[in-house]
Structure 1
Amino acid sequence: MPQIPNEHPTLWIRSTRSDSLKGKTIVLAVTGSIAAVRTVELAREFIRRGADVHAVMSEAAGWIITPMALQYATGNEVITAITGKVEHVEFFGNLGRADLLLIAPATANTLGKIAAGIDDTPVTTFATTAIGAGKPVMIVPAMHEDMYDHPAVGENIEKMKSWGINFVGPKVEEGIAKIAGNDEIVLEVERTVGQDSLRGKKILITSGSTAEPIDPIRILTNRASGKTGNELALEAYRRGADVTIVHRNKLGVTGINEIHAETAAQMTDAVLGELAKGYDMLISAAAIADYTLDASEQKISSGKGLELSFRTTRKLIKEAKEAYPQTKIVGFKAEAGVDSGELLKRARHTLKDSRLDMIVANEVSKGGIGTDNNNVTILYSDEKEDLNIEGPKSLIANVLMDEITLLLEAQDEE
């Protein structure tokens, strides 16, 4: 990235991952948990997504990690005391310039003080000011499990949730209520203060491969990894959507509803059941098996000739379109061993024949399946020009969600 004169060298990583937090100011408030050692990399992750990060520390946090480390991590002076500059008001007063107060890690002591309105550390003073001004506050607890299980701690957390404060984690294991992972924290911050173009929308995504049983051990499947579907689910969630993903993998994001479906029939039934609950969009990114068979109830002995009799599976998109014609649908078309002209010709046929709103086409013989990158073309049901995207699947998900946002906005205006 171009260097800005007089910019701290540590900020040269700004926006190297994405621009999801570009223009946002995050105050990272650190308290005296050993998990404070995680905050250096956490701050860097926000900067990699375009954010401006400032740190504020309690005295106890300074016993774990030095202010110099967080100055390096953020590129800004660290606030360790409230001075005549009234830093808490500068960032979180009614005219304050910060977008979010993120308290990570938050100890049981800090939770109790915030819940009681006590502000005897820089962190709790920032919290009192931000809450009083109605600014977004997010808290990431970290402590021993016995402390987390104290009734007062639970009551304090519920009290603060009733004020609109978001909590991320903790992850309870090994007798410790551990700080949430950086990826989870970053995702929740993106959802809270990033663009909210899909807020209030319900999006259903199918992802990955299905698996048709041959016997209790063997399956018939394909090479689809589900990486694209996962990235689509994450991007929709970032933008504020209520997201459900149907697949045979595991994404493991608390806010995203996951439905396990092994076979093509299970996936089709799951999607139709979900659509009955009312969705704005179905993104059919899964590579659903075209053929299935009657599985043997016992393992088929090896070393013998084997003949299998296949039959075609149900067509998910066809059934979804017939049952819920008002739902917008984005389909995917994968081909192998064809040139670009033939790929787009086949994709346009599927787009029209299946009455889709958009279709994403790619030729996978040279890559795309199981990789982190792809080369795809988006085709539209109207006269809009085809859009080619090449790069990481996270980029493809980002661009596709831009197009989906425009599609849903146009629907709202009808």
Structure 2
Amino acid sequence: MKNTAHQIHPTKWIKNQKSESLAGKTIVLGVTGSIAAVRVVDVARDLIRNGADVYAVTTEASEWIINPCALNYATGNNVITELTGDVEHVKFCGLNGCADLLVIVPATANTIGKIAGGIDDTPVTTFATTALGSNMPIIIVPAMHESMYNHPGVVENIDKLKSWGVSFVGPYFEEGVAKIAPNDTVVLNVERAARDGDLTGKRVLITGGATAESIDPIRILTNRSSGKTGMELALEAYRRGAYVTIVHRNYLDVQGINEIYVESADQMIDSVMDELENGYDAFISSAAISDYTLDYSSHKIKSGNDQLSLVLRPTRKLLNEVRKAYSELVITGFKVETGITEDELISRSQKLQQEHGLDLIVANNVGYKGMGDDTNEVYIIDSDSGKPVHVSGSKRVIASKVFDNLAEKLK
């Protein structure tokens, strides 16, 4: 009776730069007696970097692993090691509690079982019972040996808690251990649970990065797109509560985001058209899809001193096919140019917007910045106003601005 939870792996793609995504939010961290408790200081600091006010509550077992003084230092707030006449569990997690979210990180098999059974014999389990009774969002981040995680009773307890609306983040499996999820993944899911969720219930399909056209089994034709913009768009849509699918040839590896891996322009277009049949509210075409392809050689083309000619032919146009098949779909396109004026960039982008009936278009002159960088400078043009809005900053900031516009259109 093996637990089939998604295996999360650490990823370099989630950039937890300092932001205000959790500004005004109060997060309670429940810490239990797993050796992974040594990671909680870093988790707390990452939440604070994103604007949260963090309070820690501990079990006695966790205090053998991490001293409450360390958590006091990390959070800047007194640590709750026992319940007193101040009824701390009600103050934070009661019906009118001041907390927005309870995150139990790490969570042992013992604590998971107690919460599922309604047993309150530690401060953490009492906080959990109170939060469940007041419908406060709860995230549990398990950490234990893999054999314990696969125990039928643990599997049953996790399923029971999920049926009550509790979210689980991780674990990922390595060396026989069900390890705590990476900090960035925990923070991402806290952002999703604690924010208002202006895309909750919406389905968003995104393309990202470069495609690659095979010349032979060794060589490809591609472009300089890193795929960072597409991945930041997927992360932002997930933060806002959407069901997200991204089609690309990168790997994001984030629990909750569906990924479809493709190589060529044809594969990307076919995958998008197939996936759209499942029903989506918005489509964002941020991929740098190859404009040309060629006949593939099944054997490696021999190297030599002679010139080699490749015959290129145009690829299909994704926006043409999507708009033709889905006249009511909210579509965002991207337009990339080089070496032209700002006015010409905007003019060409508006022409493409009108040609395909795009609700939004993001215009980028890579003569400024863009391909491969973590930052960019773009113009977002809304079909309703027609006015270009200049946005400069990290690709996370740009993704947020895109969804500010889309969320309004999807209401």
TM-score past 0.5 threshold = yes
One-letter amino acid of the counterpart of residue 210, structure 2? S
What's the counterpart of residue 382 of structure 1? 384
Q: 2:408 aligns with which of 403, 406, 409?
A: 406
The 5-angstrom pairing of residues 288-303 of structure 1 reads: 288-303=289-304
Shift of 1:278: 1.4
Is the 2:370–2:377 contact (alpha carbons within 8 Å) kept by the matching residues of 1? Answer: yes
Tell me which moved more, 34-43 or 16-25: 16-25
- Describe the superposition over 1:300-358 as per-residue Cα deviations: whole angstroms up to 9, x where unpaired: 00113211111100000001100111111111000011121211121111111222111
What's the counterpart of residue 99 of structure 1? 100
What's the counterpart of residue 322 of structure 1? 324
What's the counterpart of residue 69 of structure 1? 70
What's the counterpart of residue 337 of structure 2? 335
Shift of 1:130: 1.3
CA distance in 2, matches of 1:201, 1:381: 21
User: 3-state SS of the aligned residue for 1:376?
Assistant: strand
- Describe the superposition over 1:91-124 as per-residue Cα deviations: whole angstroms up to 9, x where unpaired: 1111111111111001111112112211111111
Is the 1:336–1:365 contact (alpha carbons within 8 Å) kept by the matching residues of 2? Answer: yes
The 5-angstrom pairing of residues 35-46 of structure 1 reads: 35-46=36-47
One-letter amino acid of the counterpart of residue 332, structure 2? V
Shift of 1:133: 2.2
What's the counterpart of residue 56 of structure 1? 57
Shift of 1:73: 1.0
Q: TM-score, normalised by structure 1?
A: 0.93
Which runs of no fewer than 5 residues in structure 1 stay unpaired? Answer: 1-14, 410-414
User: 3-state SS of the aligned residue for 1:40?
Assistant: helix
What's the counterpart of residue 396 of structure 1? 398
Shift of 1:384: 4.2
One-letter amino acid of the counterpart of residue 157, structure 2? N
CA distance in 1, matches of 2:86, 2:182: 34
- Describe the superposition over 1:204-263 as per-residue Cα deviations: whole angstroms up to 9, x where unpaired: 101000000111111010000000000000000110111110011111011011111111
CA distance in 2, matches of 1:408, 1:315: 25
Is the 1:20–1:195 contact (alpha carbons within 8 Å) kept by the matching residues of 2? Answer: no
**Pair 1:313-2:281 in alignment:** no
CA distance in 2, matches of 1:368, 1:122: 49
What's the counterpart of residue 412 of structure 1? none
CA distance in 2, matches of 1:401, 1:275: 19
Tell me which moved more, 380-389 or 283-292: 380-389
Is the 2:30–2:102 contact (alpha carbons within 8 Å) kept by the matching residues of 1? Answer: yes
CA distance in 2, matches of 1:345, 1:143: 57
Is the 1:212–1:221 contact (alpha carbons within 8 Å) kept by the matching residues of 2? Answer: yes
One-letter amino acid of the counterpart of residue 283, structure 2? L
The 5-angstrom pairing of residues 52-201 of structure 1 reads: 52-201=53-202
Tell me which moved more, 79-88 or 340-349: 340-349
User: 3-state SS of the aligned residue for 1:258?
Assistant: strand
The 5-angstrom pairing of residues 340-359 of structure 1 reads: 340-359=342-361
CA distance in 2, matches of 1:113, 1:354: 56
One-letter amino acid of the counterpart of residue 94, structure 1? L
Is the 2:346–2:388 contact (alpha carbons within 8 Å) kept by the matching residues of 1? Answer: no
CA distance in 2, matches of 1:142, 1:71: 22
Shift of 1:16: 7.2
CA distance in 2, matches of 1:382, 1:190: 30
CA distance in 2, matches of 1:16, 1:77: 26
Higher RCO, 1 or 2 (CA under 8 Å, sep at least 6)?
2
Count of paired positions: 395
CA distance in 2, matches of 1:86, 1:326: 53
